[in-house]
Amino acid sequence: MPKNKGRGASVKTYLAFIPAVVLVAFIVYLVATPPSPSLTTVTTTAQTSVSVGGQASSFSLNLIDGQGLKDQKFDFNPASGKLVFMDFIHEWCVHCNNMAPIIEMLYTNYKDKDVVFITVAGGQNTDAQKTANYIRKHRVSWTAVFDPQLEVFRKYGVRGTPTYFIIDPKGLILVKLEGEQTYGTLAQELDKYLRHR
């Protein structure tokens, strides 16, 4: 009889650890799994077809910073001779807010590697002041422009935010990524071009 009591106690001990093991496994899964590319906020725009390998569009929009909308225009020439990392965001987009620290880290690590960063902030369901607050909150220190009517969003076929483009020095679209991405994914895409130039 005492043998059976010992076996019952050890089974109870093992059973007590099962929830802890399941919890640890779940946490490891969450940490190890990259964000799903489908993590985007839908944007209402008329679509144009923009594809990888196609020519990026030029545009002219007002600059915006943490203080507000500027009178100064920014004219984007895709064939600038520089590698361009362009992100499309909305200030209210949860996924854009999640990605902001990653984009800031990317900028910090690549700004001296001849990569130009441009943020195109959309005006859907927001205004310039709320967008300026986003820029200030997330310390966006690179070029940011405000697209109140989503004209540039339409030119680039942006269906959701965040959306990222990498454009080569001749103005060809190398990469288009939608939704939350890991730092490693974005850095790998930039490195792929920087290694082969």
Quick one: average pLDDT of 42-65? 80
Q: Helices 94-110 and 128-137 sit at what angle, rounded to 10 degrees?
A: 50
Helix (H, G, I), strand (E, B) or coil at 117: strand
pLDDT of the residue at 18 = 77
What residues does each domain of the chain span? 1-33, 41-195
pLDDT of the residue at 5 = 59
Quick one: average pLDDT of 83-110? 96
Sequential DSSP letters for 127-193: -HHHHHHHHHHTT--SEEEEETT-HHHHHTT--EESEEEEE-TTSBEEEEEES---HHHHHHHHHHH
In angstroms, rounded to a whole number, what is the distance separating the alpha carbons of residues 61 and 54?
22
Helix (H, G, I), strand (E, B) or coil at 97: helix
Contact 150, 121 (CB under 8 A): no
Classified by CATH at the fold level, domain 41-195 comes out as Glutaredoxin (3.40.30)
pLDDT tops 60 at residue 15:
yes
| H or E element in which residue 120 lies | strand 115-122
Closest CA to 62 of 174, 145, 143: 145
In angstroms, rounded to a whole number, what is the distance separating the alpha carbons of residues 8 and 23?
24
pLDDT tops 90 at residue 85:
yes
pLDDT tops 90 at residue 46:
no
Predicted confidence (pLDDT) per residue in 167-183, tens digit: 999 999 999 999 999 99
pLDDT of the residue at 80 = 86
Confidence of residue 38 (pLDDT cuts 50, 70, 90): very low
The overall average pLDDT reported for the chain is 86
Residue 139 makes CB contacts below 8 A (sequence gap 6+) with 104
Predicted confidence (pLDDT) per residue in 137-174, tens digit: 999 999 999 999 999 999 999 999 999 999 999 999 99
CA 100 to chain centre: 7
